[in-house]
A and B are shown apart, each in its own frame.
Chain A
Amino acid sequence: MFGRLLWKLVRGSRGRLTVAMVGLISGAAVISALLNLQLDIESKLTKEFRSLGANVVIAPRSAAQTTDAGSATPILFSEGVLLNEIKLRAGDSVTAAAPFLYIVARATGAPVVVAGTNLESLAKLQPAWKLDGQWSANGAAGAPSCVVGRNVASHVHAPLRSSLSLGYEGRAQTCTVTGVLDTGGPEDNQVFLDLAAVQRFADLPGGVSLVQLNVSGSAGDISAAVSRLHSAFPDFDVHPIRQVTEAEGELLNRIRLLIAATIVLILVLTSLCVLATMAALAMERREDVGLMKALGGSISRVVGFFLAEVGILGAVGGLLGCLAGLVLSRWMGERVFSAAISPRWQVFPLTIGLMIVVALAGALPLRLLGRVKPAVILRGE
């Protein structure tokens, strides 16, 4: 009986229900898309901030400067152990790590800083650097490939694809320039070679001056990773690059707050819109309420009908809206971040729940109408 009446009710007022449904679906779509966006925005933005480069450095604990002017003596620690340990200890939050061994070699008579590193990791560590050429030439036999800073290229005449010879403590090493690097930083004055080649060249097997890491996540995640690394390597100095981490944390916070505030405003507005639609629907049901009461339906039963009707409406509208919201948030992601926003399952129950609550709240005036005498309503007054 209950089900049949409900079915008749729904079929009997298809036109109005369609209007309410459209309101519910569009409301739910906007809400679920924005919720999805809000949940994903932090990870999307942190990814953007990764182009700031390394944010954590691991270096040996040094006594006060042990270097002389004109030559920098590398401070060594074994590379193999450390890199494996880092991956093991810090886990997934480390998105890129590169070891560096610095020596001051001579190129055509002038001193130049040569950095031994893993060129592929370096490219991942510093996505903002502009490289003219390639990071490494595949399968190049003979001379190893190297990447030179743009100042080095112009000062020691080492253009792309030329051969650069370096001298260090009487040893010589030639490499083929496969890329010219433009960073705007001190790296413009350095030559980047494969770590193993520099270790051989400088006769410092396994030597590394420092390790730079790119740790993703919020300021809290970064400091957690730093303290984990701290306890893992008590002999080393692990410190975040404050310029990057602090500004990043601050900016992320502000942007998140901004988006969150706007989204809350829109949530309220959309809920109001749905509420208005549902209230209109409820008002139109007055006559049905009157008729049912006249036929002897108890008020709780009658109101139950309508609440069930609106509740189902809210649930169906919410569900369809969520599906539409998925498409919408995907589009937003493509448009803004050129990457799809991954759908979050939490959004579904949240949006559908909100829609049901809003729909029921819209039907509340019905309860008040229930008190009205059936005769008055049936007379059409």
Chain B
Amino acid sequence: MFARLVRESFIRNPRRKLLTAAALMVGMAVATATLTVALEVGDRLAREFRNLGANLIVTPESDTLPVEIGGVDYRPVDEGAYLREDDLGKLKMIFWRHNILGFTPFLDVPSQIVPADGAKPVSVTLIGTWYEHPVPVPDGTRFVTGAKATHPWWNVRGRWFHEGANEVLVGDALARTYPGGLSIGQTIDFEPLEPKVATGGLVKLRSLTITGIVSTGGAEDEAVIAPLSVAQELSGHPGQFRQLFVSALTKPADALSERDPATMTPAEHDRWFCSPYISLIAYEINQVLPDTDVHAIRQVADTEGRVLNRVGALLWIVTLAALIAAALAVAATSATTILERRGEIGIMKAIGAANATVAGIFLAEQLMLAVVGGLLGFALGLGLARALGVSIFGSLAEPRLVLLPVILAIAILVAVFGSLVPLRRAAHFDPAPILRGE
């Protein structure tokens, strides 16, 4: 009898059911989409932030004070400590290795360009670095990294040098101001400013072909950028470099990450060790590269942490608003359909139905609608989240099936609660005036 009543109600008046189901579907679709985006957005934005470049810098611990102005180190090449290139593969062996997105070693060599026509040499800083360098990792794989990953804003007209080739990039300010100008395809001779140190007294020229003009908006615009191996040979420091820039995906700093690991309780220490805080990644790098000083680049790390926290909080609030709006929409339509069916309720009560039976029938209907609407809404919402992901981040948001039970639960909750108030009112209906049509 109960089942037949419910079934009949669906067959008799599909329009009303359709309205409630549609409201549920739209509401749950929006809830699914915003929840999916909110869950995903931290990770996506963190990756976007890596466009800012490196957030960690590694320097030798026993270094003398660098004399660096505008990104160029004016220390003589024989001064200060160096780091070993061979060790870099170990960076991909730390616990949070997948969070290391890239790293690039730098070696600045004060040198001069010796014009072929015997004119006065022009002093210039030769920066040795990697562009796309395969780094052997101790586990047998190779990790390709370099300036492409850590300095994505470097803009090259022409093409980058090939690793290890006798090629060079020229900063665009230097290319403009160099007497006679410098252009792609030209070959220029370099010599280190202190040939005594580098080559044991012999003046050794190194001919490099220009493959591109680089524009960075920084000090590199007035320098030349060469493969690291070339810079190492020129300076007489094979296999060594001065600075390492590391770009790592990190969790925004909070109260825990700012504390000294030594003062944490074991439980806190575990939690600290299981979150990719920038301080933890710095600590791990320091473990595999001993005698180094690993430091977070504050401007980048701080801004990233703060903006990520803010956008995350914002999205959660907006998602909450979406959920509330969805709940209101569904409750409103549920209430409407019940009010519309007052006549029916009157008849049921007139022929002796208890309030509980009436409520049971309506709730069963709402429950079925909630499940159907929730399922359809979830599917629709996944599509919506996908579209949002593509248009905003250029990549798909992963569908999260975990959300399905959550969405279904919300749909049921909203549909049932939305009909509770009108049902309570229906319980007070006097059948007689309703049947009279008043």
Which residues from chain A sit less than 8 Å from chain B, CB to CB? 19, 23, 26-27, 30, 33-34, 37, 41, 44-45, 48-49, 51-53, 62-65, 67-72, 102, 104, 110-113, 126, 128-130, 151-152, 155-156, 182-186, 188-189, 210, 237, 239-247, 250-251, 254-255, 257-259, 261-263, 265-266, 268-270, 272-273, 276-277, 279-280, 283-284, 332, 335-337, 379-381
Q: Which residues of A contact B438 (CB under 8 A)?
A: 380
Beta-carbon contact of B335 and A19 below 8 Å: yes
- Report whether A258 and B41 are in contact in the complex, using a CB–CB cutoff of 8 Å: yes
In the complex, what distance in Å separates the CA atom of A361 from the CA atom of B30? 22
CB of A254 within 8 A of CB of B48, answer: yes
- Contact yes or no, A243 B298, CB < 8 A: no
Partner of B388, one of A69, A239, A246, A261: A261
Decide yes or no: A269 and B30 within 8 Å by CB, A48-B303, A52-B300, A336-B317 being known contacts.
Answer: yes
Judging by beta carbons under 8 Å apart, are A65 and B299 in contact? no
B366-396 contacts to A (CB < 8 Å)? 384, 388, 391-393
Instruction: Looking at the assembled complex, report how far the CB atom of A108 sits from the nearest CB atom of chain B, in whole angstroms.
Output: 10
With a cutoff of 8 Å between Cβ atoms, the chain A residues found around residue B95 in the complex are: none
| Known A336-B314, A337-B310; contact A242-B216, beta-carbon cutoff 8 A | yes
At the interface, yes or no: B306 with Cβ under 8 Å from chain A? Answer: yes
Interface residues of B (CB under 8 A from A): 19, 23, 26-27, 30, 33-34, 37, 41, 45, 48-49, 51-53, 57, 64-71, 74-76, 110, 122-125, 151, 153, 155, 173-174, 177-178, 193-194, 215-218, 222-223, 295-303, 306-307, 310-311, 313-315, 317-319, 321-322, 324-326, 328-329, 332-333, 335-336, 339-340, 384, 388, 391-393, 436-438
- Tell me which of B69, B217, B333 contacts A241 (CB under 8 A): B217
Contact B45 A263 (CB under 8 A): no
Query: Would B177 and A63 count as touching, CB distance under 8 A?
Result: yes
Q: What chain B residues lie within 8 Å of A272 (beta carbons)? A: 23, 26, 329
> Complex formed: what's the CA distance from A113 to B67 in Å?
6
Given that A19-B335, A52-B52, A152-B65 are known contacts, is A262 also in contact with B218, CB under 8 Å in the complex? no
B332 x A128 contact (CB < 8 A): no
Extra A-B contacts (5), CB below 8 Å, given A72-B69, A251-B48, A284-B339: A242-B215, A242-B217, A251-B307, A254-B48, A265-B34
What's the Cα separation between A283 and B23 when bound, in Å? Answer: 18
Contact in complex: B321, A30 (CB < 8 Å): yes
CB neighbours of A246 from chain B (8 A):
51, 153
16 examples of A-B residue contacts, CB within 8 angstroms: A30-B325, A65-B174, A69-B76, A69-B110, A104-B67, A128-B298, A237-B173, A241-B218, A242-B215, A243-B216, A246-B153, A247-B49, A258-B311, A258-B388, A265-B322, A265-B384
A270-B325 in contact (CB<8A): yes
Which of B34, B76, B325 touches A273 (beta carbons < 8 Å)?
A: B325
Query: Number of contacts between A and B (CB, 8 Å)?
Result: 246
Q: Is the Cβ of A250 less than 8 Å from the Cβ of B67?
A: no
Q: Is the CB of B391 within 8 A of A261?
A: yes
Q: Please name the residue on chain B nearest to A54 by beta carbon.
A: B299
Question: With the chains together, A167 CA to B382 CA distance in Å?
Answer: 67
Q: Shortest Cβ distance from A335 into chain B, in angstroms?
A: 7
Do the beta carbons of A111 and B52 come within 8 Å of each other?
no
Residues on A with beta carbons closer than 8 Å to the beta carbon of B151: 243
- Determine the chain A residues whose CB is within 8 A of the CB of B339 once the complex forms: 280, 284
Q: Which residues of B contact A48 (CB under 8 A)?
A: 303, 306-307, 310
User: How many Å from the CB of B12 to the closest CB on chain A?
Assistant: 16
**Least CB distance, A379 to chain B, in whole angstroms:** 7
- Specify which chain A residues have a CB less than 8 angstroms from the CB of B314 in the assembled complex: 37, 41, 259, 332, 336
In the complex formed, the residue of B with least CB distance to A280 is: B336
User: Which residue of chain B is the closest to A240 with respect to CB atoms?
Assistant: B217
Contact (A266, B299) CB under 8 Å given A189-B68, A239-B217: no
Q: Are B45 and A255 in contact (CB under 8 A)?
A: yes
Residues of A within 8 A of B53 (CB): 243, 247
Contact of B123 among A26, A49, A65, A110 (CB under 8 A): A65
A65 → chain B, closest Cβ, in Å?
Answer: 5
Among A152, A269, A280, find the residue whose CB has the most chain B CB atoms closer than 10 A: A269
Give every chain B residue within 8 A of A19 (Cβ-Cβ).
335
CA distance A63 to B68 in the complex (A): 19
Alpha-carbon separation in the docked complex, A284 to B74 (Å): 84
Please give me the residue from chain A that is nearest to B110 by CB atom: A69
Chain B residues near A247: list those with CB within 8 A.
49, 51-53, 153
* Centre residue among A155, A273, A332 by max chain B CB count within 10 A: A273
Residue of B nearest to A22 (CB): B328
Q: A254-B45, A259-B318 are in contact. Are A111 and B303 (CB under 8 A)?
A: no
Known contacts A48-B310, A336-B317: A258-B37 contact under CB 8 Å: yes
Listed from nearest, the 9 A-B pairs whose CB atoms lie closest are A380-B437, A242-B217, A273-B329, A280-B336, A69-B110, A128-B302, A184-B297, A247-B51, A247-B52
A336 and B310 in contact, given A27-B328, A186-B71 (Cβ under 8 angstroms): yes
Do residues A266 and B65 form an inter-chain contact, with CB atoms below 8 A? no
* Chain A residues closer than 8 Å to B301, beta-carbon distance: 184
Query: In the bound complex, do residue B303 and residue A52 qualify as a contact, i.e. CB atoms below 8 Å apart?
Result: yes
Which of A113, A266, A284 is close to B325, meaning CB atoms less than 8 Å apart? A266
Complex CA–CA separation, A152 to B63 (angstroms): 11
- Specify which of A49, A258, A276 is in contact with B23 (CB 8 Å cutoff): A276
Give complex CA distance A72, B73 in Å: 10
Task: Please give the distance in Å from B418's CB to the nearest CB on chain A.
Answer: 11
Tell me which residues across on chain A come within 8 A of B313, comparing CB atoms.
Answer: 335-336
Shortest A255–chain B CB gap in Å is 6
Give the Cβ gap from A342 to chain B, nearest Cβ, in Å.
16
Question: In the complex the two chains form, is A261's CB within 8 Å of B392's CB?
Answer: yes
A254–B392 contact, CB under 8 A?
Answer: yes
Most A CB contacts (10 A, CB to CB) among B26, B69, B313, B388 go to B69
When the two chains form their complex, are residues A257 and B392 in contact, meaning their CB atoms are under 8 A apart?
Answer: yes
What is the chain A residue whose CB lies nearest that of B63?
A151
Is A276 a contact of B329 with CB atoms below 8 Å? Answer: yes
In whole angstroms, what is the CA distance A112 to B66 when docked?
8
B124 to A184, Cβ gap below 8 A?
no
Whether the Cβ atoms of A70 and B393 lie closer than 8 Å is no
Say whether B74 contacts A72, CB under 8 Å. yes
| Interface contact B299-A51, CB-CB below 8 Å | yes
Q: Which residue of B lies closest to A71 (CB)?
A: B74
- Closest residue of chain B to A184 (Cβ to Cβ) is B297
Q: A112-B65, A254-B393 are in contact. Are A27 and B325 (CB under 8 A)?
A: yes
A130→B279 CA distance, assembly (Å):
15
Bound Cα distance A250, B392 (Å): 11
**A186 contacts B66, C-beta separation under 8 Å:** yes
Bound CA span A144–B51, Å: 40
B153 touches A335 (CB 8 A): no
Contact residues in A for B26 (Cβ distance below 8 Å): 269, 272
| With A49-B303, A276-B333 as contacts: A64 and B64 at CB distance below 8 Å | no
Cβ of B334 to closest chain A Cβ, rounded Å: 10
Judging by beta carbons under 8 Å apart, are B123 and A68 in contact? yes
Q: Hey, which chain B residues are within 8 Å of A268, CB to CB?
A: 30
Write out the residue numbers on chain A whose beta carbons fall within 8 Å of the beta carbon of B326.
269
Specify the chain A residue showing the minimal Cβ separation from B436. A380
Measured between alpha carbons, how far is A155 from B155 in the docked complex, in Å?
A: 36
Q: Across the interface, which residues of A come within 8 angstroms of B66, CB to CB? A: 151, 186, 189
CB distance from B240 to the nearest CB of A (A): 18
